[in-house]
Structure 1
């Protein structure tokens, strides 16, 4: 991530609203960026100041000024009594604005500080809205989020492989009795993707096999399971916003999905998308393993 990607996420990071994946990537950037460290400290100070400020019910006069300043207020200004009743609608009832304790906004003494507070709150709300939009693209399915989280958890735990072996005849039998299907396991070292082992994981309400391959210094997890659509109301083989074989980038991780021989294959890595395209080609061209 660069500064342009991290800056919109700093507020959510300070408020502990980011997912573990996003938080890890943001903190990795901030640790090596002095400018973003300063920005983070400013946001923390501002958040602490707002939390410590005294909160009081906004005076009626201040509310009236706000209503009068809204677009279209001059063209359709209701009577004073109606304006007061409008402020008592459920969505506004109990609204609090932080104002200075030393003076009353009603007599104009602290009107400026009141407006500054309103502006700060509005800006924070706008930033939060943009952050939520950036964090969750509309075309990303919950299953993709689950897949990314599974891959990241395995890397962080240090136990990303249950059975460590470069021999397909060791890895495949290990799954016997642990799954209700036999996952295809092949060694494609000749194509630049040596087999490292495998593990069990839990996705889409079922146990699945994960085959771990290496590509240079990168780890590639290949999730493979029977092609059963609409399991628990969703198709784990569905590809959001794209077609099979296309590469999706989510949270800095590349993913690719395809169907073959009655199985759904999902591959994920932090390497470039080209690596997954080559892996997919190698697996599709694999020789049938001997038993």
Structure 2
């Protein structure tokens, strides 16, 4: 295994996602290659840093909203007690889960325990309460984020943003530096089993910086690296026939601009390929790149100038 084969697999190897035979081959290459070993160490450090980030307890107000939204439980067992207490107002209905949660918050004497047993039971109860509230809070936050996420942003788009950020952080965002498009296009030969259209759009304000290989949706993908002013634009190109879920997200018709965590994304189809672009520039930059690229391809540059 050489660097070209190993680099697209380093991220999956760092996350322990490769089958054992592939992981062994990648590790053997890492052990013998200083550049790939350095990149692998960076990926492991990034992964460890993300896992070390602190978690925060959900606030009481969120807990109250979650309990209020749960299905109402059977409150018949509580009505005789309320009547015996001379309650003038009906007892609010609560879910069974709500009753269970609140049972842990009763005074120690009400639990019918004494001595060390009371302290132990109260401590265990509070621990379970904290754990359950945190779990419910995390679930509620996840549902809220999913509900507010734009419908177009699917797992594949998330993976592209992660790929773009990872490339910028690693300092290995370009495998082949462009002198012109005839340098980049032949570089992909033998490294992937398709030939991506490559255009230098410097005249339109989008100079071609180079290209690289990446590993997206379990396949090797060609990435064309453009620059717009001080911003990098990664353009992922692969055949429509093999796009799978990515192709279903890149629906036919006008391209769809979207944002994810401060990054702009756009996708379109042209020349039998699916194109995805990611950048930290404004969405207008991607619209300009798409138009320039489509105009150049429609003009027959690939066919008239050769590949």
TM-score range, shorter chain: 0.5 to 0.7
Other-structure match for 1:154: 167
Alpha-carbon separation, structure 2, partners of 1:133 and 1:161: 37
Match of 1:185 among 198, 218, 228: 198
Does the aligned pair in 1 maintain the 2:250–2:268 contact within 8 Å?
no
Match of 1:168 in 2: 181
Contact 2:267 2:274 in 1 (8 A): yes
Preserved CA contact (<8 Å) 2:235 2:277: yes
- Residue of structure 2 in register with 1:199 after alignment: 212
Q: CA deviation at 1:142?
A: 2.2
Tell me the distance in 2 between the aligned counterparts of 1:103 and 1:223: 62
User: Tell me, what secondary structure is at the counterpart of 1:267?
Assistant: strand
Answering whether residue 288 of structure 2 is matched by residue 278 of structure 1, we say yes
Residue 188 of structure 1 deviates from its aligned partner by: 0.6
Structure 1 residues 141-150 or 114-123, which shifts more?
114-123
Equivalent positions of 1:208-227 (< 5 A) are: 208-227=221-240
TM-score with structure 2 setting the length: 0.57
User: How many angstroms does 1:222 deviate by?
Assistant: 0.4
Q: Aligned partners of 1:147, 1:265: CA distance in 2, in Å?
A: 12
Q: Would the aligned equivalents of 1:224 and 1:266 in 2 still touch at CA under 8 Å?
A: yes
Give the aligned partner of residue 255 of structure 2: 245
SS in 2 for 1:199: strand
Measure, in 2, the Cα distance between the counterparts of 1:107 and 1:243.
69
Q: Distance in 2 between the 1:117 and 1:71 partners?
A: 25
Cα RMSD between the aligned structures? Answer: 4.4
The structure richer in helix per residue is 2
Are the equivalent residues in 1 in contact too, given 2:161–2:263 (CA < 8 A)? Answer: yes
Contact 1:166 1:194 (C-alpha < 8 Å) held by counterparts: no
Q: Deviations over 1:132-189 (max 9, x none)?
A: 1244448332222222221111111110000012411111111111111111111111
Deviates more, 1:257-266 or 1:102-111: 102-111
Matching residue of 1:33: none
Shift of 1:243: 5.8
Deviates more, 1:239-248 or 1:197-206: 239-248
Tell me the secondary structure at the aligned position of residue 214 of structure 1: strand
Q: Tell me the SS of whatever aligns to 1:161.
A: coil
User: C-alpha separation between the residues in 2 aligned to 1:128 and 1:103?
Assistant: 29
Q: Give a deviation string over 1:216-247, Cα, whole Å, max 9, x none.
A: 11110001111115x5xx33222279964120
Q: How many residues are paired up?
A: 217
State the secondary structure of the residue aligned to 1:207: strand
Q: Please tell me whether residue 132 in structure 1 is matched to residue 133 in structure 2.
A: no
**Post-superposition offset of 1:206:** 1.8
Per-residue CA distance 1:63-88 (angstroms, 9 max, x = gap): xxxxxxx96654355999xxxxxxxx
8 Å CA contact 1:187–1:195 kept in 2: the answer is yes
Offset of residue 207 of structure 1: 1.3
Q: TM-score, normalised by structure 1?
A: 0.60
Change (3 A) 1:166 1:78: farther
Alignment partner of 1:263 out of 266, 273, 283: 273
Gaps of 5+ in 1: 1-19, 28-39, 48-69, 81-90
The ranges of structure 1 where at least 4 consecutive aligned residues each deviate by more than 6 angstroms after the TM superposition are: 97-100, 108-111, 113-119
Q: How many angstroms does 1:266 deviate by?
A: 0.7
- Show CA shifts across 1:24-55 (max 9, x none): 8xx9xxxxxxxxxxxx8xx76x69xxxxxxxx
1:106 to 103, 106, 111: 111
Distance 1:78 1:172 in 2: 78
